[in-house]
A and B are shown apart, each in its own frame.
Chain A
Amino acid sequence: MKFIDRAALQSYRGECKTRSAALERQILVCCGTGCMSGGSLDVYDRFRELLAEKNIHVAVNLEPEPHGDTIAMKKCGCHGFCEMGVLIRIEPQGYLYTKVKAADCEEIIDKTILRGEHIERLAYTLDGEVYKKQDEIPFYQRQTRNVLTHCGHIDATTIDDYLAVGGYEAFERALFEQTPEELTAEMSASNLRGRGGAGFPTGRKWAEVRRHRNNNLAAGKSAQTYVICNGDEGDPGAFMDRSIMEGDPHRMIEGMLIAALAVGSDTGYIYVRAEYPLAVSRLRGAIEDLERFGLLGDNILGTEFSFKLLISRGAGAFVCGEGSALINAVEGKRGMPKVSPPLYAERGLFGKPTALNNVETFANIPQIISFGAENFRKVGPESSPGTKAFALTGNIRNTGLIEVPMGTRLREIIFDIGGGVPNGKEFKAVQIGGPSGGCLTAEHLDLPLDFDSLRKAGAMIGSGGLVCMDSDTCMVEVARFFMHFTQSESCGKCVPCREGTRRMLDILENIVAGEGKDGDIELLLELADTITATALCGLGKTAPQPVISTIRYFRAEYEAHINEKRCPAGVCTKLRAIAIDPEKCKGCSKCSKVCPVGAISGKVKETFAIDPEKCIKCGACAETCPFGAIDS
């Protein structure tokens, strides 16, 4: 069925709204990557099986005439509370059940679905308090979910659910009521800054693309332009974009359609990284739905506007998150950055002006067009308005995906929303902005998180990964980890990055191995300075950031490794000495069984011993010993 004009779309959307409203009772099973690996598909299938056995009518899609007893079964996107998965939301009560297993399904149907009763043992509890409804949980209460508003609440696998919440109304408005100039002006007025990390104003970017297109046209050249969505979310510990692509793919695509109108493009690409197969399949499904309805293709809704959308799957290269490298990859080449200028707004994909924005940026656009720039600017500080999604990971109680106003203080994110550091450990630092970012420490807890405040503190917002670290984390090892990452992801095109990161990694590896020398810290800083000043692309320029910031805030840890050959956090294995305390050893033999290399031997009920030649210092024995006889 193709929508031939605006009225057809509006009438179908109206139908979807009516049908959706009629489906009061719903079971929403989280089918994001996190919950799926926890077994959410088994839970979904079990629900379907049980409902069929009990002869309860189930609606997987929005049905034309639902009857009163129908239960809607939906595969929704990420709720963000990944730590508690598998997550199930029950409507109309708004109950959230956590850590649900297939074995729980029968009880849920019998009690909650059929009788409306709440099951306390499946609810989220904190400090003895039971939270029945999702919205009451502190983790959610303190968030402002605008971009993620539908994530976890609608079925991510069908366009009908998106239309039922007003989907493509913004696009419709942009297509029929606004000129490209007006769209760009609205974006500029909103001051939406790119969510991919650099924070470049989206409106200005689009205006540039439009200007170069018009120049080309005036010079008698082709007016071809492209829209690209950067879904190469490679920062380790970041999964905001993945969750949007999986949980609300249409919202992002709607943003791309509006961008296409603004810059006059007829072809778009979504570049998705290789590690996100589920995102690819959700996007494919969304594109098929749109083509079927005529919202993608030729003469959309009977207008002159035509747009086709293609998916370009990455093959594993972090550097492709950089704009010009990504463009090379879409062209089927090695993903190496190009020298700029020219910027890709002038000469981008296949040499044509290209509007390249990130997933979260596109997902912000429909609300700006629907409710206006002024409304958008009500949230967050003047210079970086709107909300930002963050991925909370590492040593933090509530790992997951959150969305807060720009400018929210770190303390609120880590402690109020994130629940603080688990296992009674102390908060040590948070790494923000991934391998290009820096660490923030306890002294930054009252720092507002927005583009400009972070830049001043020597970090960057990046795409929004927040990796929390407790007192057991060695910061030198963390710096080595990131340097190893950027070094192996360096494309090799420019010397400062290719050779410089190699040298920095060598030094860091020596330090964590106990072979650090006097002067190493100074040499690291000197190399960092040179690389930052001379590398070709963003990856290289920012590669030394984790080293610079850990030296700035944790210099004493570097010095302990170098001068005293000691790792204060007890992490660096080469600086470890593992030995069995004969006083405490009872000869239970547990350690020798767990040792992966057979380095521990002895007779039962006598003292065991570790062969230092064979020992790889993994520490498995120390963790196993019931008597605390192994010291590492």
Chain B
Amino acid sequence: MTRERSEPEVIEAILEKTGIGESYVIAILQAVQEHYHYLPQWVFSYISARLGVGIARLYSVATFYENFSLEPKGKYVLRVCDGTACHVRKSVPILTRLRAELGVSAEVPTTGDLLFTLETVSCLGACGLAPVLTVNDKVYPAMTPEAASRLLAGLKETEL
């Protein structure tokens, strides 16, 4: 992967905001992920050197928390809520339908063209509107497999 020259500056700007120190590791990785939508490999050695914290320590944090991703994600991240309330209001058929239509699975959640990533998400606390799904953090309430399929078709159309 080629790096643009400005990339260390991106990280420096992040460190300026979060502070430099071991207790800021999570906040730093979160900011990096917000910028790149995943954690590129080179970032680990860079931060390790700047913080004086071992790369293994950084990886241990990055792999522990669900929100961090070491793989690039699709342009649209679809997340089906699989909290209890959504589950009892039938969220699984929505997930099944979207997986079938996108040709992705739990193991390979991202489409080959890097357009879509399909994941489940822990309870969003929007249980009154169950079942919900989110597209890049926008919440879509009271979903059905059909409504989800239409939503996906709409997204695909804008990409044509």
Contacts and interface: CB of A to CB of B under 8 A. Distances in A.
Interface of A: 33-34, 36-38, 82-83, 85, 233-239, 242, 274-277, 312-318, 329-336, 391, 393-395, 399-400, 431, 434, 465, 467, 469, 473, 478, 481-482, 491, 594, 596-597, 616, 618-620
Nearest to A468: B88
A233 B125 contact: yes
21 contacts: A37-B126, A85-B128, A235-B123, A236-B82, A236-B85, A236-B87, A236-B123, A237-B84, A315-B26, A315-B30, A317-B64, A317-B66, A332-B25, A391-B127, A394-B84, A394-B127, A395-B89, A399-B85, A399-B127, A467-B88, A491-B64
B29 interface: yes
Contacts of B21: 332
B26 A332 contact: yes
Contacts of A234: 122-123
B139 interface: yes
Given A400-B128, A616-B100, A333 B123 contact: no
Interface in B25-66: 25-27, 29-30, 60-61, 64-66
A582 B15 CA distance: 68
Contacts of B64: 317, 334-336, 491
A469 B89 CA distance: 9
B68 interface: yes
Interface string B82-107: 11110111000100110011000000
A313 B29 CA distance: 11
Given A317-B66, A469-B88, A393 B130 contact: yes
Contact of A332 (B61, B82, B122, B123): B61
A313 B25 CA distance: 12
Interface residues of B, number: 47
A473 B88 contact: yes
A577 B142 CA distance: 28
A85 B127 CA distance: 12
B113 interface: no
A594 B146 CA distance: 8
A235 B83 CA distance: 8
A34 B126 contact: yes
Given A83-B128, A315-B67, A467-B88, A38 B145 contact: no
A393 B124 contact: no
Contact of B96 (A82, A469, A491, A616): A616
A274 B87 CA distance: 20
Given A316-B68, A318-B122, A332-B22, 9 more contacts: A36-B139, A236-B82, A239-B126, A313-B30, A315-B68, A331-B22, A331-B23, A393-B130, A618-B97
Contact of B61 (A82, A333, A619): A333
A318 B66 CA distance: 10
A397 to B, nearest CB: 11
B95 to A, nearest CB: 10
A37 B138 CA distance: 7
A393 B93 contact: no
Given A237-B127, A431-B84, A465-B84, A330 B23 contact: yes
B132 interface: yes
- Most A CB within 10 A of own CB, among B83, B138, B139, B149: B83
Interface string B134-149: 0001111100011001
A297 to B, nearest CB: 18
Interface in B109-132: 121-130, 132
A618 B145 CA distance: 10
- Most B CB within 10 A of own CB, among A234, A275, A276: A275
Contacts of A82: 126-129
A463 to B, nearest CB: 11
A196 to B, nearest CB: 16
Contacts of A33: 124-126, 139
A80 B27 CA distance: 32
Contacts of B101: 596
Contacts of A594: 146
Nearest to A624: B146
B93 A620 contact: yes
Contacts of B29: 315
A136 B66 CA distance: 44
A82 B126 CA distance: 8
Q: Which 5 A-B pairs have the closest CB atoms?
A: A82-B128, A316-B66, A37-B139, A239-B125, A315-B65
Contact of A596 (B97, B121, B125, B140): B97
B44 to A, nearest CB: 15
A478 B88 CA distance: 8
Nearest to A619: B93
A303 to B, nearest CB: 28
Nearest to A317: B65
B22 A34 contact: no
Contacts of A400: 128
B77 to A, nearest CB: 14
B113 to A, nearest CB: 20
A393 B127 contact: yes
A616 B92 CA distance: 12
Contact of B65 (A34, A316, A620): A316
- Most B CB within 10 A of own CB, among A34, A38, A329, A465: A34
B64 to A, nearest CB: 4
A398 B101 CA distance: 33
A36 B140 CA distance: 10
Given A318-B122, A481-B84, A274 B145 contact: no
Nearest to A472: B88
Nearest to B57: A333
A597 B126 CA distance: 30
B88 A620 contact: no
A238 B125 contact: yes
B26 to A, nearest CB: 5
A37 B100 contact: no
A239 B127 contact: yes
A457 B26 CA distance: 40
A618 B24 contact: no
A316 B65 CA distance: 5
